Structure 1
């Protein structure tokens, strides 16, 4: 019998998701209820959010920033 896993799996960063600083801003969406944090990019044009990875700790955040060469990230609740 197989194992059942509950909850979200850690997503690895995919360079398939492009980041254009002229058209997007880096954002961390934070849930007020659960505390879950998701890093991604928000369109400056229409506000559409593209999820890139789950942020569990400071190490994940640094990996995201390093991968996309980002210095500042705005948090949204």
Structure 2
């Protein structure tokens, strides 16, 4: 449980599908602290559902220039309730 933040910027699921499976999210989650943030430019439903299944509160946020939106997952944040 070493990481506060995960910036997940893997290649797209069509190029590297193994990086977008729930099993990988579980591994990443096991390495994060109790109040971690998971952020990605991906807006895929599978990632959203996977994070929710792991207990994250998932929010869509405006993306940077060139990206319409991005996703942020908050893990057990004190202000998320």
TM-score (norm 1): 0.37
Say which one has the larger Rg: 1
* More helix per residue: 2
* More strand per residue: 2
TM-score (norm 2): 0.35
